[in-house]
A and B are shown apart, each in its own frame.
Chain A
Amino acid sequence: ETGVTQSPTHLIKTRGQQVTLRCSSQSGHNTVSWYQQALGQGPQFIFQYYREEENGRGNFPPRFSGLQFPNYSSELNVNALELDDSALYLCASSLAHRETQYFGPGTRLLVL
């Protein structure tokens, strides 16, 4: 059974650019949640996708957007990147929207 995978592993962008991060959920899981983890902090919830619909959102601006595809993989898009967007972005999948979440290895984003 393949676990949660994320791509790319690392990314460097400049302020104002746009970025797309990708996540493949664990086999059989229909829910994907995205988190931002700043250095030295716990992960912060960005949003969740359940059956291709956004199913809840944390305290993040609209320039953070996402998609979930029919195979339940997901994308996180961030527009107009700011220096503070530098962080580890984690994707987690679960059997359903209230079930235990399993995390991928993350994408490390650096904004210069």
Chain B
Amino acid sequence: GQQLNQSPQSMFIQEGEDVSMNCTSSSIFNTWLWYKQDPGEGPVLLIALYKAGELTSNGRLTAQFGITRKDSFLNISASIPSDVGIYFCAGMNYGGSQGNLIFGKGTKLSVKP
């Protein structure tokens, strides 16, 4: 199935570091969403973006909806151990009458050894 290009695939963080990840698509989306998934759990919504150029924060998390509507990024400032997990971007199209999500493959955040 169709997927977004999400990078990096994985990264190691040290407590206090800032983290950046992004997502690109060949298609335009009307909505960009960022989710975090812990092992054995469902994805938890972090930030929703509804308008091109929109910059939205949720605590230490900041995300932007790209001007071209084909990309989005997520920044985490001053990372803490509980930030470890898998982060997914998802785009929503309003094609036809449905509103299904198309997901990236995820960015896995781990603690630096």
Query: Which residues of chain A have a CB within 8 Å of any CB of chain B?
Result: 4, 6, 31, 33, 35, 40-45, 48, 50, 55-56, 58-59, 90, 92, 94, 97-106, 108
Contact = CB atoms under 8 A, between A and B. Distances in A.
Contacts, number: 75
B1 A97 contact: no
- Interface size on B, as a range, is 20 to 34
A51 to B, nearest CB: 11
B42 A104 contact: yes
Given A42-B3, A103-B35, A56 B43 contact: no
Contacts of B42: 4, 6, 90, 103-106
Contacts of A98: 30, 92, 94, 99
A97 B98 CA distance: 6
A97 B97 contact: yes
Among all A-B residue pairs, the 5 with the closest Cβ atoms:
A56-B98, A42-B103, A98-B99, A103-B42, A45-B100
A42 B88 contact: yes
B47 to A, nearest CB: 10
